[in-house]
Amino acid sequence: MSSWPSGVLVPVADPLDRFRQGDVDAFEELFRLHQRAVYGWILRIVRNPTVAEDLTVEAFWRIYKTRARFEPARGFEPWARCIATRAALDWLRARRPESELTEETMAMQTTGAPADPGVTAEIRSKTAQAFARLPPRLRVAAVLSVVEDRPHKEVAEALGISVTAVKLRVFRALRLLRRDLERQGIKP
């Protein structure tokens, strides 16, 4: 509440409503509050910190451009996650599959720690290549659900699909990965 000179109390608009109306200060406030979460989400998908930084900026640009479609009752974070996911998927689709997931990026966890040393470099390399050959929509569902162990509901909201569709995409991705690895001589 703020007080006007006449002493009448006027309610201060919610930052989400102000953002929706184009208030740059409200947008900056939301950016500061959610930047880390959006970056982390994108990093889980693209597995490249530099690209994730660029895509975070792109995602927030898209968020600002589409603010009129934002529904404050649904919450900012799920909406931002959905837009960030689309930005990451667009980037994945535009990349050559061979360069999307390297052995090094597949071997790194979100903490930056190397993968299990018991897994040979050859297996990691072949797995990364098989992952890179997955269609982006299946790859994203598999990375978020299996590699990142995110709840199916969260993945579904981010992708704008049902939980059943997430499960189906993960199932298809794992089936394709298994077939690809078997063709390469690896028994998963």
CATH number, domain of 160, equals 1.10.10.10
Whether residues 170 and 185 share a domain: the answer is: yes
How far apart are alpha carbons 43 and 56 in whole angstroms?
9
How far apart are alpha carbons 76 and 94 in whole angstroms?
27
How far apart are alpha carbons 38 and 1 in whole angstroms?
30
Tell me how many domains the chain contains. Answer: 2
| Whether pLDDT at 35 is above 60 | yes
What are the pLDDT digits (tens) for 151-174? Answer: 999 889 888 899 999 999 999 999
Most trustworthy range by pLDDT among 14-23, 107-116, 120-129 = 14-23
How far apart are alpha carbons 89 and 14 in whole angstroms?
31
| Mean pLDDT within 61-69 | 92
| Mean pLDDT within 127-146 | 88
pLDDT of residue 121: 77
Q: Which domain holds residue 41?
A: 10-94
Whether residues 149 and 182 share a domain: the answer is: yes
- Integer CA distances (angstroms), 78 to 136, 156, 170, in order: 21, 10, 21
pLDDT of residue 83: 94
Q: Which residue has the higher pLDDT, 17 or 9?
A: 17
